Amino acid sequence: MFNGLTLGALLVIVAMGLTIIFGALGVVNFAHGALYAVGAYAGFVAYEYTGSFVAAMAAGAAFLMLVGIVIERGLIRLYYQRPKEDQILVTFGVGIVLVEGLRAIFGGLNRNLPAPSWAGGIVNLRVTLYPTYRIDVLAIVGLSLVLLYFILYRTRLGLIVRAGIEDQLMVNILGINVTRTFMTVFGLGAMAAGFAGVINAPIVTVSPDMGADVLVQSFVVIVIGGVGSFWGAVVGGLIAGEILSLAAMIEPAYSQVALFAVMALVLILRPQGLFGVQGRQ
Amino acid sequence: MAQRKRNSVSRRRVLQGAAAAAGTLPFVHVSSGFAAEEAIGNWPAGAAGKTVFVGVTTPLTGPYSADGVDHLKGYQLAIEHLNEGKGLVEHMPTLKGKKGVLGKKITYKSADTHTQPNPAIQAQTGFITQDKAIMVTGSLNSAVAIAIEKLAQRYKVINMVGCSGANETTGVDCQKYGFRSQPSAWMAAKALAPVLGKEIGKNKKSIYLVPDYAYGHSVEQSTGEFTTKELGWKSLGSQVCPLGTTDYSSYLLNIANSGADVFVNVAFGADAVASCKQAKQFGILDKMKMVVPNISAFQGKELGPEIMGGVYGTMDFWWTLAETNALAKVFVDTFHAKFNYRPSWPAHIAYTQMMVWADAVTRAKTFNPIKVIAELEAGHKLQMPLGEVWYRKEDHQQVRAVPVVVGKTKTEMRNEDDFFKIVGLTPGPEVMPPDFLGCKMPTSA
């Protein structure tokens, strides 16, 4: 149960990036898993040079913000007016280019980003021993969510983003500089993915394909939680983490199946997702 | 009248024709005596030109990609050596002084299997039907290996199986056209058990982490069988996980709380790396001994001696054999010179499978698969980097030594690739399953 919480926390932060981008820009970002992997590698490189995990987190987030902005300016912006299928194809393509780029630079070997020294040990939770780092992840994710919440709900940028999620046309009509906002939003989304990549790296292994599963799972998270909803991503992520973890303890072969079954159930009973708003584009 | 006459002529002609046909009957008979020389699979079409084509599939993406890259390099080196008469070729009596196989240069294409059977089957089907492959090879996963074996059997093309540890590959799923060199799970477990008894002890409690496909279940079953029978170990059960799992926390929590003495980790490739690393984080490696029945190609490099030090397991080949075997030295040195690291065992399988095949073709003096199979089945004993090897006719499993290894600690390492110490090299005949693990090999191809 507790394990599901840490698993879910990681999903929350990846899904958050996806849901912000989709909500505000209407772009289904299939490159999100690849951005997550790029983030992990950026963190890995920073760690190799500095030996500091905090530097790795900062580098992963900052570098991915930059990558996100470059991708948005260079490519995605040309696709806002094009059909959804084109957007899916182009982001899918970007994802492949990024993953293969990683493979070309770093090779296929699994890389290791160790847990920071202040979180290396094991704690005794009475019922079981548990890695300290996984508990710290909860705190790290919690903190970054608070920060993101602040940006989205307490700043002018957040207001525009949320307004964009509700009614893009209206925001345009009000004469707000959407170009810059869109760029920032995509950068923020990519940053969330990259950050998640770094904090997940000490748990999983760093390899070019590491984002593939995460992409699928975070789509499930936002479908369960409701597309474009902050709280939807949070609750969806935690639910998905619990399902994966509990199902794996009972009947491992069905843990992924259980996840999709729950998603199907949500789609039948509440198609807009738990926290979604009906009829949103 | 005229008409009648014409008819009678015609009748006579028919009779003449019949007589002529009867006269040629002995010749017809002779040519049917050459039935074995009739086209079969891609022969002779695939061997008609100056080159012959070999179809190679290895995973370059997916959980076994690191091993797959090593595997592919083994093929590249072997094909280069065969075409130029270098490397091991210079030390093999049948091939020495020759360039190419039967004078034909080998060409190849390789395809990425994504560590899954479907892409592998698609690629090999293309290689067989479009490129007229005379031989197919490569895999890093028993599910893929078994699928390719069935495909090659259907198309009647020789298949020198790549990496595959499941018992089924040369057991219940054995094929006339398929030949495997890697030790089966059964052989590995038989070689490993005595070492475990000596180093870890008898009457221990064990728990398994098992990837959910042919290989995982094979290894669990065989390792369980030998440790129970020979060491009195008791299995507390297994945690079965899907191939390609990235987070093992749920399984590891169960393992950590199981009260076992020994953690048998069957996960392979990236899965092995992730699960071992997480097992360390969960404190499992501090309270249990870890055994990895079949250690992945780069598990030492990827996890480092902090985790792999003291871990027991088997490997198809480890490069320090070069210190005791001159042919292993030829392979390791030429590989190291070309690729700048010492080869791991998937490269060894690729390299030696190519050499063994070339030897059989040269002995058969033809690419005709039926004759090549006959040579492979004949049990010619070849000197290879592992010592003497040959194939068993009954199940097409290679009889070869099985290296048992233990992970070195950091202070024991002499160079950047020195992760394992060979603690045993069990001779092939001692580890062969006497009952062929359910293989019923047909007598004719």
**Which of the listed residues B314, B347, B380 is the one where a domain comes to its end?**
B314
Q: Are residues B178 and B94 in the same domain?
A: yes
pLDDT confidence band for A135 (50 / 70 / 90): confident
* Statement: residue B2 has pLDDT above 50: no
Packed helices A230-250 and B249-256: angle between N→C axes, nearest 10 degrees: 40
Q: Convert the pLDDT of each residue in A224-281 to its tens digit.
A: 988 878 888 899 999 998 988 888 777 777 778 888 999 999 889 888 888 876 655 4
CA–CA min distance A33, chain B (Å) = 14
Question: Between these two residues, B328 and A258, which has the higher pLDDT value?
Answer: B328
Question: Between these two residues, B414 and B34, which has the higher pLDDT value?
Answer: B414
Q: Are residues B275 and B389 in the same domain?
A: no
Looking at the domain assignment, is residue B125 inside a domain? yes
**Cα–Cα distance for residue pair A54/B294, rounded to 1 Å:** 37
CATH number for B265: 3.40.50.2300
On whether the CB atoms of residues A26 and A82 are closer than 8 A, the answer is no
CA–CA min distance A168, chain B (Å) = 38
**Of A81, A102, A82, nearest in space to A33 by CA:** A102
A109/B301 Cβ within 8 A: yes
Q: List the Cα angle B128/B132/B134 in 5-degree steps.
A: 85
Q: Are residues B156 and B67 in the same domain?
A: yes
pLDDT confidence band for B27 (50 / 70 / 90): very low
Please check whether residue B211 touches A, CB under 8 A.
Answer: no
Structural domain including B206 reads 186-314
Looking at the domain assignment, is residue B27 inside a domain? no
pLDDT confidence band for B16 (50 / 70 / 90): low
Q: Are residues B342 and B224 in the same domain?
A: no
pLDDT confidence band for A121 (50 / 70 / 90): confident
Which of A35-44, A115-124, A138-147, B418-427 has the least mean pLDDT? A115-124
Chain A residues within 8 A of B274 when measuring between CB atoms: 110, 204-205
Tokens of B371: 């004759």
Tokens of B179: 């030949």
List Cα–Cα distances, B216 to B137, B185, B208, in angstroms. Answer: 22, 9, 10
* Statement: residue B35 has pLDDT above 60: no
B247/A7 Cβ within 8 A: yes
List Cα–Cα distances, A189 to A62, A88, A143, A211, in angstroms. Answer: 12, 16, 17, 15
Please check whether residue B7 touches A, CB under 8 A.
Answer: no
Q: Are residues B108 and B153 in the same domain?
A: yes
Q: Are residues B219 and B270 in the same domain?
A: yes
* Statement: residue B430 has pLDDT above 70: yes
How large is the C-alpha radius of gyration of chain B?
26
Please check whether residue B247 touches A, CB under 8 A.
Answer: yes
* Statement: residue B29 has pLDDT above 70: no
Looking at the domain assignment, is residue B425 inside a domain? no
In sequence order, what DSSP letters do the residues of B358-386 get, joined into one string? Answer: HHHHHHHTS--HHHHHHHHHTT--EEETT
On whether the CB atoms of residues A202 and A115 are closer than 8 A, the answer is yes
CA–CA min distance A53, chain B (Å) = 17
Q: Are residues B324 and B396 in the same domain?
A: yes
* Residue in A122, A205, A208 nearest the CB of B273: A205
pLDDT confidence band for B14 (50 / 70 / 90): low
**Which of the listed residues B273, B294, B314 is the one where a domain comes to its end?**
B314
Q: Which residue of chain A has the CA closest to B273? A: A205
Q: Which residue of chain B has the CA closest to A134? A: B281
**Cα–Cα distance for residue pair B385/B81, rounded to 1 Å:** 15
B251/A115 Cβ within 8 A: no
Q: Are residues B305 and B333 in the same domain?
A: no
Looking at the domain assignment, is residue B417 inside a domain? no
Looking at the domain assignment, is residue B13 inside a domain? no
Please check whether residue B244 touches A, CB under 8 A.
Answer: yes
Q: Which of B245, B250, B306 to mutate to test the interface with A (most CBs of A within 10 A)?
A: B250
**Which of the listed residues B380, B400, B420 is the one where a domain comes to its end?**
B400
* Statement: residue B53 has pLDDT above 60: yes
Looking at the domain assignment, is residue B90 inside a domain? yes
Q: Which backbone phi and psi does A35 adopt, to 5 degrees?
A: -65, -40
Q: How many domains are there within chain B?
A: 2
Looking at the domain assignment, is residue B21 inside a domain? no
Packed helices A156-166 and A178-200: angle between N→C axes, nearest 10 degrees: 100
Looking at the domain assignment, is residue B427 inside a domain? no
* Residue in A107, A115, A252 nearest the CB of B241: A252
Q: Which residue of chain A has the CA closest to B60? A: A108
* Statement: residue A210 has pLDDT above 70: yes
Question: Between these two residues, A180 and B6, which has the higher pLDDT value?
Answer: A180
Q: Convert the pLDDT of each residue in B142-185 to its tens digit.
A: 999 999 999 999 999 999 999 999 999 999 999 999 999 999 99
Q: Are residues B208 and B337 in the same domain?
A: no
On whether the CB atoms of residues A60 and A195 are closer than 8 A, the answer is yes
Mean pLDDT of chain B: 91
Chain A residues within 8 A of B66 when measuring between CB atoms: 107-110, 207
CA–CA min distance A29, chain B (Å) = 21
* Residue in A3, A107, A256 nearest the CB of B249: A3
H or E segment and range at residue B241: strand B234-241
Average pLDDT of span A181-203: 90
Q: Are residues B202 and B276 in the same domain?
A: yes
Query: In A, what residues contact B, Cβ < 8 A?
Result: 3, 6-7, 103, 107-112, 115, 122, 128-131, 133-134, 203-205, 207-210, 213-214, 244-246, 248-249, 252-253, 255-256
What number is the ipTM of this complex? 0.81
Tokens of B97: 């002084």
Q: Are residues B146 and B200 in the same domain?
A: no
Q: Are residues B170 and B199 in the same domain?
A: no
Q: Convert the pLDDT of each residue in A90-104 to its tens digit.
A: 999 999 999 999 998
Please check whether residue B250 touches A, CB under 8 A.
Answer: yes
CA–CA min distance B344, chain A (Å) = 13
